[in-house]
Amino acid sequence: MTQPHSSTEKTALRRELRARRAVLSADQHQIAALAIARRVAGLRLVKPARRIAAYIATGSELSAWPVLLQALQRGSRVYLPRVPRRGRRLDFVRLDHAAQWRMGAYGIPEASHAEVITARELDVVFVPLLGFDDALARLGQGGGYYDSTFQFRRARRHWRRPLLVGIAFDEQRVDRLPVERWDLRLDLIVTPTKVYRASH
pLDDT at residue 163, rounded to an integer = 95
Domain ranges, residue 114: 4-197
Mean per-residue pLDDT of the chain = 89
Give the residue among 183, 179, 189 at the shortest CA–CA distance from 127. 189
Cα 9 to Cα 66: distance, rounded to the nearest angstrom? 33
pLDDT at residue 22, rounded to an integer = 93
Write the CATH number for 124. Answer: 3.40.50.10420
pLDDT at residue 40, rounded to an integer = 97
Q: What is the pLDDT of residues 117-168, one digit of tens each?
A: 999 999 999 999 999 999 999 998 877 899 899 988 876 666 668 999 999 9
Q: What angle do CA 18, 175, 162 make, to 5 degrees?
A: 75
pLDDT at residue 157, rounded to an integer = 63
β-bridge mates for residue 94, sequence order: 79
**Sites in the chain below the pLDDT cut of 50:** 1-4
The residues near 167 (Cβ < 8 Å, ≥ 6 apart) are 36, 40, 62, 64, 67, 126, 127, 128, 129, 189, 190, 191
pLDDT at residue 81, rounded to an integer = 94
User: Which 8-state DSSP code applies to residue 144?
Assistant: -
Give the residue among 111, 102, 30, 26 at the shortest CA–CA distance from 72. 111
Give the residue among 145, 132, 142, 148 at the shortest CA–CA distance from 187. 132
pLDDT at residue 2, rounded to an integer = 40
pLDDT at residue 47, rounded to an integer = 93
Q: How far is CA 184 from CA 3, 61, 77, 164, in A?
A: 17, 18, 24, 9
pLDDT at residue 3, rounded to an integer = 44
Cα 168 to Cα 192: distance, rounded to the nearest angstrom? 8
pLDDT at residue 103, rounded to an integer = 83
pLDDT at residue 1, rounded to an integer = 33
Domain tally, the chain? 1
